[in-house]
Chain A
Amino acid sequence: MDLTLSPDVIAFRDDVRDFMRAELPLRMTEKVRLGRQLVKEDYLEWHALLRQRGWLAGNWPRAHGGAEWSAVQRHLFDIEATAANAPRILPFGLVMLGPVLMAFGSEAQQKTCLPRILADDDWWCQGYSEPGAGSDLASLRTTALREGDHYIVNGQKTWTTLGHYANRMFCLVRTDPQAPKKQAGISFLLIDMDSDGVEVRPIRLIDGSAEVNEVFLRDVRVPVENLVGTENDGWTIAKYLLTHERTGIAGVGFARAGLAALKRIAAQERDGAGSLAENALFAARIARVEIALMAMETTNLRVVAAAAAGQAPGPESSMLKVKGTQIRQEITDLIRRAAGPYALPFQADALAPAGNTAPIGPEYAPAAAPQYFNNRKLSIYGGSNEIQRGIISKAMLGL
């Protein structure tokens, strides 16, 4: 056992830290810090900064233009970026589709799609879930039936994150409705969002945000070259993508940044003669979540290290998902509580991308309750925590 970081890893971390300090515009970090909604331009601007530095695709191999970071490097980057209040890196092209194309895509698909992902020429969205197929993803019903050199796609996708910004969607579709098992007969298809018959409708969430959408597909013609991998073998790809989606699932960086924010807020919030941070009950709540986070960071690194030694992140990633989301949700809950009576006003304008009204109460008040509600999603998407516990009991416990 050796918990120290090697000198070159420390040098990398310092590099990242300097980069964040020098390059991140205050306007951007303030938005993140205050929980304002980010728009397309914010993400593109952030991606461009990383691209210039060669850090946009830390997880990609050099051969495809990535930085080919080790798992530990990725972990450190994540922590430094979130600590600096950087926006998140959008995962759809870089973390989800990229690795899929490298493993299953044709040479032509790799040649056209991968550079466009790196250049942000395409904005991808994930078309997996349907109204009737959430946890039970394999029961999806959107069909793609072959007609000459096209598939004709009909159905509905939902919960499509940032689909309103996307020009392309990778999608699970049913190419063989007669297949004996529901997992068979599914294919992985790339769809242009500006094709005829594609309609995107926003879904408003309870915190007032508009980040997810419904996508309706009516007789959409998709060229057969847009099939990834083998027809009817899409489930293998779907699962491959989900394991990649789960790397970084513990959200250590977000949790750390959240905890730091929580501590600042508790120190600022007045309570009796002192601050809320001095309130023994509240201080104990903060301590509990910090203790959990300290242990979870090491659990995360243990899993990451095993994966780095050549093992794929297995069912252990389910453990990280459950614990990681519990910790992040606990932190947003405590921030909500810390805001006290000023969590009550609903200040949509203070959270809007371009709003400039002074907040009612302290600056952390407007986002306190909305972020608490918004973060309920963490234990629902990416495989709900119930589904993760099911995986743990089957794959780790053999029950």
Chain B
Amino acid sequence: MDFTLTETRAMLSDSLRRTLQRGADWAALVDLGAPAALFSEEMGGFGGAGFDIALVFEELGRACAVTPMLDSCVLAGGLLADCGEEAPVAAIIAGEAQAALAHWEPGSRYAPDPLMTVAQPMGQGWQITGHKAVVVNAPEAGLILCSARMPEGAAGLFLLDRDAGGLDLRDTPLMGGGTAAEIDLRAVPARLLHADASSLIEARIARAALAQCAEALGLMQAIRDLTLDYLRTRTQFGRPIGQFQALQHRMADMLIEVEQVRSAVINLAGQIDSDRVTRERHVSAAKVLTGEVARLVCEESIQMHGGIGLTEEYALGQRAIRLSMCDHRFGDIDHHLARFTELGRLTAETAP
């Protein structure tokens, strides 16, 4: 066992942290090679392993940076890479293009394979018709990947023709930063990337969930530090409020729980390339823990700040919102609790 980072990863993590502290924008992160760290060498990157994803996103979270990294590089960009699409991947790594994945649909909640949206052959290509819900980063994305039901029933993966007619986006800002769109598709021309993409998409969502949990971990630490600072400096009743044992114990609990999340993220990063059931059990485990601890950290940190924790002006607010919103993507606590149990039955069945 060795829990230290390799030298290259430690260097990347360091320079990311310093760059982000200086308030880096997207261009600066691209210059630093952060997107490249999320792709394998064959696809023109220099990483792409679970621990690469974990370290990049932990730093993004720590800085509360709002970037297209998760959607453009891990989720949609990752799928493009899985399908061997070298040119768009190169454009994403170079910061010349952004991508988004249109997968979930209105009313589908967190179902893995919603797909009321359908694909129909048209000449040499395909046409997609249906609706997609809360497609994160779609307003900024030139490359929109879209899942749709194939005529024989499998889940196909397509690249939409952004400029053709029939594609309607209703843009919205998101709680905690970023943008999304509700997408209406009426016979939108599209290129088929993969005719049976279910397991590909699931494995990609696993990596996106890893990225999200790692980002949440970074946010939790930033919030913990902010709260600790406040407890040391805010005085009431003639002393710093951090001297009240009622608050000390809650900070201690917060620390214990955040370390649990760190371990869950490490577990998931280490198993991200394992067999499906092992990998997905770790996805659900990390999502449950992250969701629960996110709520704890968000609520406790606001409470211990008092009124100031609720103001837009103070640094806590946006961090707390961004953190708690992690439970609204890729499945919430309950979704993953049920899934973890189900997957556990599968392992019990296949165990010797």
Chain A residues near B (Cβ < 8 Å): 129, 132, 134-136, 139, 158-159, 203-206, 208, 212, 269-272, 276, 279, 281-282, 285, 329, 333, 336-337, 339-347, 360-361, 369-370, 372-374, 376-377, 379-381, 384-386, 389-390
Whether the pair B173, A345 counts as a contact (CB closer than 8 A) is: yes
Q: Which of B106-114, B142-150, B279-287 contacts A (4 or more CB under 8 A)?
A: B106-114
Select from chain A the residue with minimum beta-carbon distance to B318.
A206
Whether the pair B244, A386 counts as a contact (CB closer than 8 A) is: yes
Whether the pair A341, B134 counts as a contact (CB closer than 8 A) is: yes
Chain B residues near A (Cβ < 8 Å): 104, 106-111, 133-134, 136, 170, 172-175, 180, 182, 235-238, 244, 246-247, 295, 299, 302-303, 306-307, 309-313, 317-318, 320-321, 324-325, 327-329, 332-334, 337-338
10 A-B pairs whose Cβ atoms sit less than 8 Å apart in the complex: A129-B307, A158-B307, A206-B320, A269-B109, A285-B334, A333-B295, A344-B136, A360-B134, A386-B244, A386-B247
Bound-state CA distance A372–B321 (Å) is 10
A212 to chain B minimum Cβ distance, whole angstroms, is 8
Whether the pair B109, A271 counts as a contact (CB closer than 8 A) is: yes
Q: Which interface residue of B306, B324, B338 has the most chain A CB atoms within 10 A?
A: B306
Select from chain B the residue with minimum beta-carbon distance to A137.
B236
Whether the pair A341, B133 counts as a contact (CB closer than 8 A) is: yes
Whether the pair A369, B325 counts as a contact (CB closer than 8 A) is: yes
Whether the pair A281, B334 counts as a contact (CB closer than 8 A) is: yes
| Interface Cβ pair total, 8 Å cutoff | 130
B301 to chain A minimum Cβ distance, whole angstroms, is 10
Task: Given A279-B334, A342-B134, verify A376-B306 contact (CB < 8 Å).
Answer: no
Select from chain B the residue with minimum beta-carbon distance to A333.
B295
Q: Which interface residue of B172, B173, B327 has the most chain A CB atoms within 10 A?
A: B172
Chain A residues whose C-beta falls within 8 Å of the C-beta of B106 in the assembled complex: 361
Whether the pair B307, A381 counts as a contact (CB closer than 8 A) is: yes
Chain A residues whose C-beta falls within 8 Å of the C-beta of B321 in the assembled complex: 206, 369, 373
Q: Which interface residue of B111, B317, B325, B328 has the most chain A CB atoms within 10 A?
A: B328
- Quick one: which of A158, A329, A340 contacts B110, CB cutoff 8 A? A340
Chain B interface, >50% SS class: mixed
Select from chain B the residue with minimum beta-carbon distance to A129.
B307
- Quick one: which of A279, A329, A369 contacts B175, CB cutoff 8 A? A369
Q: 10 closest A-B pairs (Cβ-Cβ)?
A: A206-B317, A136-B236, A204-B312, A345-B172, A281-B334, A270-B107, A136-B237, A346-B175, A340-B109, A346-B173
Bound-state CA distance A25–B109 (Å) is 34
Whether the pair B303, A272 counts as a contact (CB closer than 8 A) is: no
Task: Given A344-B174, A344-B325, A345-B175, verify A380-B134 contact (CB < 8 Å).
Answer: no
B230 to chain A minimum Cβ distance, whole angstroms, is 12
Bound-state CA distance A344–B71 (Å) is 15
Whether the pair B307, A345 counts as a contact (CB closer than 8 A) is: no
Whether the pair B236, A389 counts as a contact (CB closer than 8 A) is: no
Q: Which interface residue of A333, A337, A345 has the most chain B CB atoms within 10 A?
A: A345
A139-B236, A344-B329, A373-B321 known, 9 other contacts, Cβ within 8 Å: A135-B306, A204-B312, A269-B109, A345-B134, A345-B172, A346-B174, A376-B299, A376-B303, A381-B307
Whether the pair A380, B337 counts as a contact (CB closer than 8 A) is: no
Bound-state CA distance A339–B238 (Å) is 43
Task: Given A159-B307, A281-B334, A376-B303, verify A346-B312 contact (CB < 8 Å).
Answer: no
Bound-state CA distance A281–B339 (Å) is 12
Bound-state CA distance A75–B251 (Å) is 38
Bound-state CA distance A345–B235 (Å) is 37
A267 to chain B minimum Cβ distance, whole angstroms, is 14
